[in-house]
Amino acid sequence: MAGEPPPVLDPVPGHRIAAVLAVLDAAVFGAVFLLAHGLGWTPAGSWTGNNLSAALGVGLALGVFALFGLYDPGHAARGWLQGVRLLRGWAVLLGTGFLIAVMNRGDSVSLYPMLLLSLGVLGAGAIRLTALRTWLVTRHVEAIRGASVIVGTGPLARRMAGAWSKRKDWEPRLVGFVDDPGPFPSRPARPVDDLPAPYLGGLDQVRELAREHRISHVLVAREDLSRGRLVELAHQWLEDDLKVSLVSSAFEVMVARASASLMGGLPLAILQQSPQRGWGLRWKRLLDVGLVTLGGIVLLPLLGVIAVAIKATSSGPVLYKQQRIGRNGRVFTLFKFRSMLADNDDRPHREYVEALIRGEPAGIDVGGEKVYKLVNDPRITPLGRFLRATSLDEFPQLWNVLLGDMSLVGPRPCLPYEWELYEDWQRARLKVLPGITGLWQVSGRSQVPFEEMVLLDLHYIANWSLSLDLALLFRTVPVVLNGSGGH
């Protein structure tokens, strides 16, 4: 076994470094604007021709630099990464300068704003990529690099450690390995005698180790972790703002947003948090409300016809209200067109769902295909069978979307007794708003087994985008019209 872990890293003085960078950028851009004004380079009346405008220009530049992460010490210390971000910032500043020039000068567009902003980027970039980068590398290289830990102690983990030792200078240093503990907590379950770095503890200790050793990157190099355990751990580490990479052979189904890289011949999937946060959620909500408002007006006559048909063919209310589990386990009332006899017994469904979730053989053969849903249910009315096959019974959930309980696209909400049977990793499918349609519905609906449904939901959450939502909505239309997988 290797010796003691390397000494704990000092914290990165992020705020101090960011302040130094901001003061430097402000000084460079301010000097460019004021020098241009003092030398008479700017025409009379130009927006660059007074101190207030110069201050606004400096503020604009600092805001764009912050938007592209140029005040992050890790980005500022890496020459090529900082150069790419400076070019992107320059492009945005050029576009902004052009728009300001057009609005300020009318038909006569001045190129001075774009010229001065470009000179500012050039000056700030030159200092950042030379003297400032040298200062960061000399004083804070180890702290900025951070630390990494490898999950596993087998041959794959050792190969990963060998590849990691040949990493680029700025990759986090390897401080040790974690794995399932054996009878003695100080040693893993599998015997190891020649690990290239210390064994630090069990998988459940990563959070504690991350604080102790300033770990920023977790590399998973175990192929025998169960799918559920791996999903659970990956989501936990991502929520702790740790970067997570998986040797791709260790994880055949991606359930987190990922980008690919290669390390010493080993393909890595680098996981990222779901984009359904912040502005992503706001844009999704705007899409939901807009489409439901327009669609509700168009569908109103059809909804009226369905309501009349339900009332005419069976006794009981038109709408069926049911308690469901929504985002993060919150209970809400879901609305559907009633497709069953009133006051029915739900015990058959409870028993079937319990067997399905626990992995017991629950598929029913229908026409040579396995269906993972109760069929020939005597509780369903003749009209209800048609409504379910075409998913018309789900239309009242448009009201749930307007209330904010659901989204048009997302994982289906589950029943409270289903939620109680879920394992922790399976509950991750409802970390977002549930939806009326989703990846599961367009991938087979009732013909998809439970665990595969969960993985499809996790894949959707991790790779969400507005374009994906729109694509799934379009793909839902033929599925509904054909009644594919509906029971």
Q: What is the pLDDT of residue 477?
A: 85
What are all long-range contacts of 126-133, with beta carbons under 8 Å and residues at least 24 apart? 127/24, 127/28, 128/21, 128/24, 128/70, 128/76, 128/82, 128/86, 129/79, 129/82, 129/83, 132/20, 132/21, 132/24, 132/76, 133/76, 133/77, 133/79, 133/82
**CB 320, CB 340: distance < 8 Å:** yes
Average pLDDT over residues 351-370: 62
Q: What is the pLDDT of residue 394?
A: 92
DSSP type of residue 130:
I
Q: What is the pLDDT of residue 47?
A: 45
Give 325's contacts (C-beta < 8 A, 6+ positions apart).
331, 413, 414, 415, 416, 418, 419, 430
Give 128's contacts (C-beta < 8 A, 6+ positions apart).
21, 24, 70, 76, 82, 86
In the chain, helix, strand, coil percent, each to 5? 55, 15, 30
Most confident among 107-116, 261-270, 397-406 (mean pLDDT): 397-406
- Greater pLDDT, 150 or 263: 150
The answer on pLDDT for 124 being more than 60 is yes
Most confident among 98-102, 166-170, 185-189, 394-398 (mean pLDDT): 394-398
Share of the chain above pLDDT 70, in %: 73
DSSP type of residue 8:
P
Q: What is the pLDDT of residue 120?
A: 86
Q: How far apart are CA 310 and CA 156, in angstroms?
A: 60
The answer on pLDDT for 20 being more than 60 is yes
Average pLDDT over residues 364-379: 58
Closest CA to 210 of 166, 149, 122, 161: 149
Strand 331-337, strand 243-247: pairing = unpaired
Give 53's contacts (C-beta < 8 A, 6+ positions apart).
33, 46, 47
**CB 323, CB 333: distance < 8 Å:** yes
The answer on pLDDT for 191 being more than 90 is no
- Greater pLDDT, 251 or 427: 427
Residue 272 — pLDDT band, cuts 50, 70, 90?
A: low
The answer on pLDDT for 187 being more than 70 is no
Other Cβ atoms less than 10 A from the Cβ of 404: the count is 14
Closest CA to 274 of 257, 299, 295: 257
Q: Is the pTM of this model over 0.75?
A: no
Residue holding tokens 């739900």?
346
431-475 tens-digit pLDDT: 899 999 988 878 765 566 777 788 888 878 877 888 889 989 988
- Greater pLDDT, 105 or 434: 434
**CB 100, CB 113: distance < 8 Å:** yes
34-57 tens-digit pLDDT: 777 766 665 554 444 456 667 777
The answer on pLDDT for 175 being more than 60 is yes
Diameter of the chain measured on Cα atoms = 89
Most confident among 100-104, 368-372, 416-420, 459-463 (mean pLDDT): 416-420
Q: What's phi and psi for 39, nearest 5 deg?
A: -85, 0
Average pLDDT over residues 145-167: 82
The answer on pLDDT for 180 being more than 50 is yes
Average pLDDT over residues 364-377: 55
Q: What is the pLDDT of residue 48?
A: 44
Instruction: Give me the chain's average pLDDT, please.
Output: 78
How many Å separate Cα 39 from the centre of its chain?
50
The answer on pLDDT for 238 being more than 80 is yes
Q: What is the pLDDT of residue 43?
A: 53
Average pLDDT over residues 361-381: 60
- Greater pLDDT, 414 or 439: 414
Residue 84 — pLDDT band, cuts 50, 70, 90?
A: confident
DSSP type of residue 380:
B
Strand 319-325, strand 331-337: pairing = antiparallel
Average pLDDT over residues 364-370: 50
Most confident among 87-91, 341-345, 477-481 (mean pLDDT): 87-91
Average pLDDT over residues 300-312: 93
Q: What is the pLDDT of residue 402?
A: 94
Q: What's phi and psi for 272, nearest 5 deg?
A: -135, 160
Output the six-digit token pair for 370: 């396995």
The answer on pLDDT for 295 being more than 60 is yes
DSSP states of 84-118 as a string? HHHHHHHHHHHHHHHHHHHHHHTTS--SHHHHHHH
- Greater pLDDT, 315 or 131: 315
Residue 252 — pLDDT band, cuts 50, 70, 90?
A: very low
Give 106's contacts (C-beta < 8 A, 6+ positions apart).
none
Q: What is the pLDDT of residue 72?
A: 78
Q: How far apart are CA 112 and CA 270, in angstroms?
A: 43
Give 370's contacts (C-beta < 8 A, 6+ positions apart).
363, 364, 447, 449
All structural domains of the chain, each given as residue ranges with its CATH number in brackets, are 14-143 (no CATH), 146-272 (3.40.50.720), 279-482 (no CATH)
Q: How far apart are CA 113 and CA 189, in angstroms?
A: 65
Q: What is the pLDDT of residue 360?
A: 62
- Greater pLDDT, 353 or 369: 353
End-to-end CA distance of the chain: 58
Q: How far apart are CA 168 and CA 228, in angstroms?
A: 33
